[in-house]
């Protein structure tokens, strides 16, 4: 009989860099590559949930573009977090950046997130349908980090919108999601590319997508907080590299030079995802192609089992 393996797509985090996932989905459609299961973390949870609900890359792209043009997104002030190049910035730009950092750090010390709960909820309402995980057209799950138990939490049932909100709750930026005594934050802190979660749903072949495959350049730090942030980034990077070894194929779109909060390079990020699929197309086709499986005939009683010809 002719069959093929169950193919799972594991979409990692990356905020604006994760827009590359849309390009990956476009290329999968263009090349006729199957997607039977989707697992997503952080931005991968958003893109993955949108596609699992409506498996059409063009529709996902249109909806996300409309979201980026909305007043709700502008109120989130992601552009406030973008750092300028110190070498090219003038005195006013450097002073302005210093002031923004000071305000941002002050807010982190006085409330549990930079973006208010109401604004966060409005953002997810524009992107994610208010349905149950069981209602997606492609089986989907997402992951978060449970701060109470210190473990990965996999959402396989319940509210799709709430699950995605938990998986995207970047510490300090978006509020944690409380569910039954658990305080859940961005799954990227423990599961940057959810390969294991994809296998939990039954994937036999897992294609991972990692937009944080390389560490960002690091220069002379201005504060102890920047040193601590770098140490945390290195730890997450090392953990991600270890977990990604479990993928059958790892795609690494060239979106690493874009700032994680800069959503203005939408087209470039999407293009990088498409290009990465085409660059690895021969590997992807080999992993997902149909294959022959032979049904073994029953062995005669008392005799050896016959081998297929």
Helix (H, G, I), strand (E, B) or coil at 260: coil
User: Can you give the pLDDT at residue 16?
Assistant: 87
CB 64 within 8 A of CB 33: no
Q: How many residues does the chain have?
A: 309
CB 45 within 8 A of CB 142: yes
Q: Which residue has the tokens 């030079």?
A: 257
DSSP letter, residue 98:
H
Question: Which residues fall within 8 angstroms of residue 29, CB to CB, at 6 or more apart?
Answer: 57
User: Can you give the pLDDT at residue 94?
Assistant: 42
Instruction: Render pLDDT for 85-140 as a digit per residue (tens, 0 to 9).
Output: 444 444 334 434 444 555 455 545 555 555 667 777 788 889 999 999 999 999 99
User: Can you give the pLDDT at residue 19?
Assistant: 94
Q: How many CB atoms lie within 10 A of CB 88?
A: 7
Q: Which residue has the tokens 């923004």?
A: 100
Question: Which residues fall within 8 angstroms of residue 111, CB to CB, at 6 or more apart?
Answer: none
User: Can you give the pLDDT at residue 93?
Assistant: 43
Q: How many CB atoms lie within 10 A of CB 174?
A: 24
Distance CA 26, CA 176 (A): 32
User: Can you give the pLDDT at residue 88?
Assistant: 42
CB 217 within 8 A of CB 265: no
Q: How many CB atoms lie within 10 A of CB 227?
A: 12
The encoded tokens of residue 231 equal: 């140490």
User: Can you give the pLDDT at residue 238?
Assistant: 74
Q: Which of 259, 251, 250, 247 is nearest to 198 (CA)?
A: 247
Which residue stretches of the chain have pLDDT < 50? 84-99, 103, 107, 256, 294-309
Crossing angle between the packed helical segments 57-68 and 117-127, to the nearest 10 degrees? 150
Instruction: Render pLDDT for 152-177 as a digit per residue (tens, 0 to 9).
Output: 999 999 999 999 999 999 887 788 89
- Our CA angle for 249, 251, 256, nearest 5°, is 150
Distance CA 121, CA 164 (A): 11
Q: What is the DSSP string of 156-217?
A: -SSBHHHHHHHHT--TBTS--EEETTEEEEEGGGT-SS-HHHHHHTT-SEEEEE-S--SPPP
Rounding to the nearest 10 degrees, give the CA dihedral for residues 245, 247, 171, 46.
Answer: 160
Average model confidence (pLDDT) across the chain: 81
User: Can you give the pLDDT at residue 78?
Assistant: 62
User: Can you give the pLDDT at residue 212?
Assistant: 76
Q: Which of 156, 171, 72, 80 is nearest to 122 (CA)?
A: 72
Q: Look at the pTM and tell me if it is higher than 0.75.
A: yes
63: left (phi over 0), alpha (psi -120 to 50) or beta: alpha
């Amino acid at each position: 009989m002719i069959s093929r393996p169950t193919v799972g797509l594991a979409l990692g985090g990356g905020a604006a860099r994760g827009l590359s996932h849309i390009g990956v989905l476009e290329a999968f459609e263009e090349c006729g590559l199957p997607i039977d299961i989707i697992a997503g973390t952080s931005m991968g949870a958003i893109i993955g949930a949108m596609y699992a609900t409506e498996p059409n890359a063009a529709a996902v792209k249109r909806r996300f573009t409309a979201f980026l043009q909305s007043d709700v997104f502008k109120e989130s002030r992601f552009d406030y977090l973008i750092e300028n190049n110190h070498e090219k910035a003038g005195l006013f730009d450097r002073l302005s950046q210093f002031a923004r950092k000071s305000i941002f750090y002050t807010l982190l010390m006085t409330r549990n997130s930079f973006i208010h709960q109401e604004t966060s909820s409005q953002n997810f309402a524009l992107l994610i349908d208010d349905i149950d995980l069981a209602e997606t057209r492609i089986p989907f799950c997402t992951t978060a980090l449970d701060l109470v138990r210190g473990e990965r939490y996999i959402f396989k049932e319940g509210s799709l919108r709430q699950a995605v909100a938990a998986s995207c709750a970047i510490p300090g930026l978006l509020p944690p999601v409380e569910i039954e005594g658990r305080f859940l934050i961005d799954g990227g802190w423990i599961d940057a590319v959810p390969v294991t979660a994809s296998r939990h749903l039954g994937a036999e072949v897992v294609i991972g997508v990692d937009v944080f495959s390389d560490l960002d350049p690091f220069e002379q730090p201005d504060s102890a907080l920047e040193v601590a942030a770098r140490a945390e980034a290195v730890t997450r990077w090392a953990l991600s590299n270890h977990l990604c070894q479990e993928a059958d194929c790892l795609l690494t779109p060239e979106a690493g030079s874009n700032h994680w909060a800069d959503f203005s390079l939408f087209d470039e990020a999407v293009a990088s995802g498409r290009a990465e699929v085409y660059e690895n197309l021969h590997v992807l086709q080999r992993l997902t192609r149909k294959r022959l499986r032979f049904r073994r005939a029953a062995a005669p009683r008392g005799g050896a089992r016959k081998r297929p010809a």
